């Protein structure tokens, strides 16, 4: 292959840049509102358990759209999906910026989530279709970096916007950027494969949607209704029934939204469980720490966001090295090294859960973020390597869907734990501190469980290079 044939055409680079920037913006705003939750709770008279739906609902909507990504790719042109994603973001932005109460704000967030749900799969599809095979690793790595750095950068961005003006500035400031992205990419996005009229399997989608939503609502009810309430047991029970219904329906269908037979591969399955757990903890702690800093420590929203910035920057710089470790030494070294750092940070957060300072949070978040990202990216790579090429697209869809759903329930459960302590005569800050320690304890337990998942992975995997 000549050097000329290995170059990515300028038009393709513009298209990749535009869709990558759109995906980054869509993911950035996932967690950007976390620092504004204490303010929203006062202004809109809602509890922490309710306000967290600003993030949970967003991630849940993205997860549901991820399920449809294979169908959308076959049915609609890249440019149509790109424009739809941009318009969803702009419309959602406008509704949120003008929202006068919590329900309107939540509706705006759900519409805005359409951007990330459409843009993330489209980003990977355009990279795969427009980049020469010899350069594919670099561009896929850069695309994957967006998924890891953007959520952690959200609280920092949100904190700066709230400090400069108020939480509405998060939406006003991103609107013109999205308009520029739309103008930049609409002429550059090309179509590389023909579209065709395919039927959408509404039955399978509805069953999965019922499962995801009812499971999340059930978990959300624990702190208010209790683990033996009909809200919790009914939500979990309905989710189980819906998943069972999907499995039965999918077995008798030639068109499955998520091909569950991939889970017959134990390396893929337990890698997915570990990947899911890491994302659960990542999005959950990105929610917990800014709120802890403001409610318990008394820090400003700016400090609550900025204290996560060092961890995000260090992780971004080291990300290429994480992949290099896998290439040179196999998956076992970076995954177990990253999991160990992740566990140490979780242990410190749990141990000092009621007495954390901003400085200690910032330092341990660096350790947490580096360890989580080192294990997270290599877990994905290692899991996909064990899947046949014919199943690779379906495996990616499962990982992407699981990643978003893990984030939604991570936020839900940690919010429930943080607000679970109600003691007469105790200050709200002290109650939140005790609840936060419970939340950090859960993350520590999950860090230990992940070692069990990896033990099974490497027992079945003969060659981890």
DSSP secondary structure letters along 362-380: HHHHHHHHHHHHHHHHHHH
Checking if the pLDDT of 315 tops 90, the result is: no
Q: Which of 149, 143, 124 is nearest to 313 (CA)?
A: 149
pLDDT at 297: 94
Mean pLDDT is highest, among 159-173, 251-265, 389-403, for 159-173
Between CA 274 and CA 270 the distance in angstroms is 6
* Reduced DSSP (H G I as helix, E B as strand, rest coil) percent helix, strand, coil of the chain, to 5: 85, 0, 15
The CA distances from residue 142 to 186, 345, 405, in Å, are 22, 26, 23
Residues 6+ apart with CB under 8 A from 112: 26, 29, 58, 88, 89, 91, 92, 93, 95, 96
Residue pointed to by tokens 């023909």:
194
The pLDDT of residue 1 is above 60: no
Tell me what the mean pLDDT of segment 386-393 comes to: 73
Give the model confidence (pLDDT) of 104-118 as tens digits: 999 999 999 999 999
State the average pLDDT for the chain: 88
Q: State mean pLDDT over 180-184.
A: 93
Is residue 241 scored above 60 in pLDDT?
A: yes
- CB-neighbour burial class of residue 260 (10 A; exposed 0-12, middle 13-18, buried 19+): middle
Contact between 297 and 358 under an 8 Å Cβ cutoff? The reply is: yes
User: CA angle, 351 as apex, 345 and 356 as ends, to 5°?
Assistant: 80
Whether the predicted pLDDT of 147 surpasses 90: no
Question: ∠ at Cα 195 (192, 200), nearest 5°?
Answer: 135
CB of 32 closer than 8 Å to CB of 154: yes
* pLDDT at 389 exceeding the cut of 80: no
- Evaluate if residue 379 carries a pLDDT over 60: yes
Q: Report whether pLDDT(357) > 50.
A: yes
As a whole number, mean pLDDT of residues 156-177 equals 92
Rounded distance between C-alpha atoms, residue 51 and residue 430, angstroms: 20
| pLDDT of 5 | 53
Are the C-beta atoms of 101 and 44 separated by less than 8 Å? yes
Q: Residue 219 has what pLDDT?
A: 84
**3 pLDDT band (50/70/90 cuts)?**
very low
Phi/psi zone of residue 298: left (φ > 0), alpha (ψ -120 to 50 degrees), beta? left
pLDDT of residue 351: 96
Q: What is the pLDDT of residue 437?
A: 96
Is residue 127 within 8 Å of 139, Cβ to Cβ? yes
Averaged pLDDT for residues 276-305: 91
Between 51 and 140, whose confidence is greater?
51
pLDDT computed for residue 433 by the predictor: 95
CA dist 17 and 393 (Å) reads 22
Rounded to an integer, what distance in angstroms lies between the CA atom of residue 180 and that of residue 90? 11
* pLDDT for the residue 382: 83
Indicate if the pLDDT at residue 452 is higher than 90.
Answer: yes
pLDDT at 135 over 50: yes
**pLDDT given at position 232:** 86
Residue 403 pLDDT: 86
Least confident of 178-187, 318-327, 368-377: 318-327
The more confidently predicted of residues 413 and 130 is 413
Angle made by CA atoms 410, 411, 416, in degrees to the nearest 5: 100
Contact (Cβ atoms closer than 8 angstroms) between residue 300 and residue 319 = no
Band (pLDDT 50/70/90 cuts) for residue 223 is: low
| Most confident range, picked from 46-50, 195-199, 359-363 | 359-363
Average pLDDT estimate for 354-363: 95
Q: How many other C-beta atoms can be found within 10 angstroms of the C-beta atom of residue 447?
A: 26
Q: Is 174 exposed, middle or buried (0-12, 13-18, 19+ CB in 10 A)?
A: buried
Measured CA to CA, the distance from residue 365 to residue 368 in angstroms comes to 5
Per-residue pLDDT, 2: 45
Residue 229 DSSP one-character state:
S
Tokens encoding 4:
């000329």
pLDDT band with cut points at 50, 70 and 90 for residue 85: very high
Share of the chain above pLDDT 70, in %: 95
């Amino acid at each position: 292959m000549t050097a000329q044939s290995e170059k990515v055409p300028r038009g393709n680079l513009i298209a990749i840049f535009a869709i990558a920037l759109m995906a980054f913006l869509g993911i950035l705003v996932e967690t950007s509102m976390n620092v504004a939750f204490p303010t929203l709770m006062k202004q809109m008279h809602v509890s922490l358990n309710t306000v967290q739906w600003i993030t949970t609902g967003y991630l849940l909507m993205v997860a549901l759209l991820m399920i449809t990504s294979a169908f959308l790719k076959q049915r609609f042109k890249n440019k149509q999906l790109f424009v739809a994603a941009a318009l969803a973001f702009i419309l959602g932005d406008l509704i949120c910026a003008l929202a006068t109460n919590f329900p309107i704000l939540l509706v705006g967030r759900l519409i805005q989530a359409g951007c990330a749900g459409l843009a993330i799969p489209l980003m990977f599809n355009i990279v795969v279709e427009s980049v020469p095979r010899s350069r594919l690793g670099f561009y896929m790595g850069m695309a994957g970096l967006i998924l890891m750095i953007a959520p952690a950068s959200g609280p920092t961005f949100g904190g700066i916007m709230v400090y400069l003006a108020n939480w509405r500035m998060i939406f006003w400031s991103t609107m013109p950027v999205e308009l520029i992205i739309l103008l930049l990419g609409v002429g550059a996005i090309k179509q590389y494969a023909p579209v065709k009229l395919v039927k959408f399997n509404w039955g399978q989608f509805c069953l999965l949607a019922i499962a995801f939503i009812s499971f999340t609502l059930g978990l959300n009810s624990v702190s208010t209704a209790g683990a033996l309430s009909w809200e919790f047991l009914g939500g979990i029970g309905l989710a189980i029934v819906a998943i069972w219904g999907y499995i039965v329906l999918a077995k008798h269908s030639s068109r499955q939204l998520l091909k569950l037979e991939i889970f017959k591969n134990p390396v893929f399955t337990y890698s997915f469980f570990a990947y899911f757990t890491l994302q659960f903890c990542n999005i959950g702690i990105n929610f917990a720490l800014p709120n802890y800093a403001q409610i318990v420590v008394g820090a400003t929203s700016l400090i609550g966001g900025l204290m996560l910035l060092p961890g995000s920057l260090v992780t971004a710089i080291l990300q290429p090295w994480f992949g290099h470790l896998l290439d040179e030494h196999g998956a076992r070294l970076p995954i177990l090294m990253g999991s160990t750092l992740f566990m140490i940070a979780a242990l410190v957060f749990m141990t000092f859960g009621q007495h954390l300072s901003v400085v200690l949070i910032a330092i341990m978040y660096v350790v947490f973020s580096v360890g989580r990202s080192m294990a997270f990216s290599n877990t994905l790579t290692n899991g996909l390597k064990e899947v046949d090429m014919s199943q690779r697209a379906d495996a990616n869809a499962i990982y992407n869907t699981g990643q978003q759903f893990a984030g939604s329930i991570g936020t839900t459960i940690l919010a429930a734990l943080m607000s679970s302590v109600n003691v007469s005569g105790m200050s709200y800050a002290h109650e939140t501190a005790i609840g936060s320690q419970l939340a950090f304890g859960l993350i520590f337990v999950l860090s230990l469980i992940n070692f069990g998942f990896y033990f099974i992975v490497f027992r079945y995997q003969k060659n981890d290079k």
